[in-house]
């Protein structure tokens, strides 16, 4: 099902809370577009926030989540199987890609994150899922 963002009052993206300049980097993409950035430090926080707010996509860091990003996505998928997820990882390997595919992850992006690639993936995701060009150049 494609949701039109014109019907929604706000756009919310939920991302992993990290110990690097990740939130500041995301704000460079989100703030000019009026997109709200919410941060979660654990799978439990992800679920708690998803239960309380309309979230349009998640960006999960494989390396900063406890126990790991794939487990976080598995937990999210239990109750929110259609919520788009982007996975960031320091090491891309075949088993990880296979598991991400099985979990219907929209995109796997290697770290360090090229913000242009992330921007392109967000644009693709929002056009496909929400028929919105909010992330268009």
Domains in the chain, ordered, with CATH? 11-130 (3.40.50.2300)
Percent of the chain with pLDDT over 90: 74
Q: Dihedral angle at the C-alpha atoms of 51, 111, 119, 35, nearest 10 degrees?
A: 30
CA 115 to chain centre: 13
| DSSP bridge pairs for 86 | 59, 107
What is this structure's pTM? 0.90
pLDDT value for 1? 41
Judged by phi (left if over 0) then psi (alpha if -120 to 50, else beta), residue 34 lies in left
Range in 19-23, 42-46, 100-104, 121-125 with the lowest mean pLDDT: 19-23
Pick 66 or 47 by higher pLDDT: 47
Please measure the distance between the N-terminal and C-terminal CA atoms of the chain and give it in whole angstroms: 25
**Section 73-86 average pLDDT:** 96
pLDDT value for 17? 87
């Amino acid at each position: 099902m494609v949701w039109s963002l014109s019907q929604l009052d706000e756009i919310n993206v939920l991302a992993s809370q990290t110990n690097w300049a990740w939130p500041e980097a995301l704000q460079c993409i989100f703030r000019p577009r009026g997109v709200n950035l919410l941060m979660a430090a654990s799978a439990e926080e992800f679920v708690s926030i998803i239960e309380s707010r309309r979230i349009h996509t998640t960006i999960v860091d494989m390396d900063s989540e406890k126990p790991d990003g794939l487990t976080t996505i598995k937990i999210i998928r239990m109750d929110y199987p259609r919520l788009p997820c982007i996975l960031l990882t320091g090491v891309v390997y075949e088993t990880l890609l296979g598991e991400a595919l099985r979990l219907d992850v929209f995109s796997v992006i290697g770290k360090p994150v090229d913000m242009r690639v992330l921007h392109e993936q967000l644009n693709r995701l929002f056009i496909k899922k929400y028929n919105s060009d909010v992330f268009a150049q």
